[in-house]
Amino acid sequence: MGLQIDKDHQRFRKIVKGKIRKDLRKFLTRSELIGREGKKYISIPVQGIDTPHFRYGDNSDGGVGKGDGQPGDKVDGGGDSGQGGSQEGQHILEVDVSLEELAEILGEELQLPRIEPKGKHRITADRDKYSGIRQTGPESLRHFKRTFRRALRRQIMSGLYNPAAPRIIFERRDKMFRSWKTVLSPQSNAVIIYMMDVSGSMGDEQKELVRLEAFWIDAWLRKNYQGIESRYIVHDVRAGEVDRETFFRIREDGGTRISSAFRLAKDIIENNYAPSEWNIYLFHFSDGDNSSESDSRDCCNMLTENLLPCVNMFGYCQVASAYGSGNFINVVHEHLNDEEAVITSRVNTKDDIYDSIKTFFSAGR
């Protein structure tokens, strides 16, 4: 149905996409609606344009809230005090959003294409699915309810049914049986190998960025593949495989030798994941402060020779750090610019994560 506001809405979308009124794009904001996934709060991004106004600066004066709590306790969901009395006549509910829906929302927001699994990986699996009904079949598949209903109908029609003493007797022609169809469903396997630099320069803030980024990568890939495995590698000058929990928690010190992680990734792939059967995704998170130029060169060689031929994508995500040169991303650009499978992005703040995800997956690989 055409609403008058559709015109305004389309115009707004065009502005957001930068098709018209490009001057307004600098006022783009990204607020969020808060939903919940399991115990985690998740946010659904809402784009907006905030034309400038005179307004107050930081909100350090705080606000007034209602509820229990001792001085010093955290106020959840606070921060909007300036808006305290200006909410429209509606209330925000918390809802549960499944990971599936979340990925859907993500895909819609970022307009990500569905991933096309590599051609040679397309294995078809036969699966029997009970989806129909027919009149012949083995007794073990008899559909009792339908059979009963048919018998009942027949008896009522033929006047044999006595409501006072209901007794239903099946005849052969009443019997209905479940039937199945064989479905050929394409099945593709995927593995994600996350690698993270845990050298001294990766602080809590950087890890938080990695965690969020990895969460969204995970959500999106899980939506696109059925059987998905994740492997986690951490490295400083040496690399080791860890479980998911450790991956996000671990705190180590020391230098950085990125090649160590690549070597381990290569071993894992060779031993477990034949490239002809698996869609392989490599993601590496680092602040880009590799210990030596020669090691960076080693990395590039290893990528071109061993890793890139067998993976769908190598995503390198560099998080900003107060220390270090952050030079690795430049090395990657320099040496691997022609490789389609290499995608890099920089994440400096949480706001960059959306763009980073979009960069990684917009090619639909």
| Per CB under 8 A, 38 contacts other proteins | no
Q: Does 8 bind other proteins (CB under 8 A)?
A: yes
Q: Which of 18, 38, 78, 364 binds other proteins (CB under 8 A)?
A: 78
Q: In whole angstroms, how close is the CB of 46 to other proteins at the nearest point?
A: 5
Binding-site member from 19, 30, 40, 84 for other proteins (CB under 8 A)? 84
CA gap 347, 338 in Å, rounded: 22
Select 61 or 128, whichever has its Cβ closest to other proteins: 61
DSSP 312-347: SEEEEEEEP-SSS---HHHHHHHHHTT-TTEEEEEE
Contacts of other proteins in 42-61 (CB under 8 A): 44, 46-49, 51-61
Q: Which is nearer to other proteins, 21 or 251 (CB)?
A: 21
For residue 205, give the 3-state DSSP assignment.
helix
Q: Looking at residues 303 to 362 of the shown chain, list those that interact with other proteins (rule: CB under 8 A).
A: none
**Least distance between other proteins and beta carbon 148 (Å):** 36
- Smallest gap from Cβ 83 to other proteins, in A, equals 8
Q: Please, what is the minimum distance in Å from the beta carbon of residue 29 to other proteins?
A: 10
Q: Contact between 92 and other proteins (CB under 8 A)?
A: yes
Is there a contact between 45 and 354 (Cβ–Cβ < 8 Å)?
yes
For 42, other C-beta atoms within 10 Å of its C-beta total 21
Total residues at interface with other proteins (CB under 8 A) = 72
Q: Please, which residue, 83 or 271, has the CB nearer to other proteins?
A: 83
As a whole number of angstroms, the distance between CA 67 and CA 90 comes to: 21
The reply to whether 364 sits near other proteins by the rule CB under 8 A is no
**Nearest residue (CB) to other proteins, 58 versus 126:** 58
Residues 95-114 that bind other proteins (CB under 8 A): 95, 97, 105
Contact between 89 and other proteins per CB under 8 A: yes
Run of H or E residues at 356: helix 352-361
> Among 33, 123, 183, 274, which residue sits at the site for other proteins (rule: CB under 8 A)?
33
13 binds other proteins (CB under 8 A): yes
CA–CA distance, 128 with 142 (Å, rounded to integer): 17
Selected binder of other proteins within 17, 18, 19, 20 (CB under 8 A): 20
Give the 3-state secondary structure of residue 102: helix
Interface residue with other proteins, options 18, 63, 113, 227 (CB under 8 A) = 63
7 vs 244 by CB, closer to other proteins: 7
Residue among 311, 296, 301 nearest 341 (CA)? 311
Using the minimum distance from each CB to other proteins, give the nearer residue, 52 or 138.
Answer: 52
**Nearest C-alpha neighbor of 354 from the set 153, 217, 150, 152:** 217
| Residues numbered 257-286 forming contacts with other proteins, rule: CB under 8 A | none
Stretch that binds other proteins, among 22-30, 117-125, 160-168, 199-207 (CB under 8 A): 22-30
- The two structure tokens encoding residue 100: 């599936």
Closest by CA to 260, choosing from 281, 284, 280, is 284
Taking alpha carbons only, the member of 310, 239, 305 closest to residue 273 is 310
Describe the crossing of helices 258-272 and 293-302 by its angle, rounded to 10 degrees: 20
Pairing of strands 313-319, 227-235: unpaired
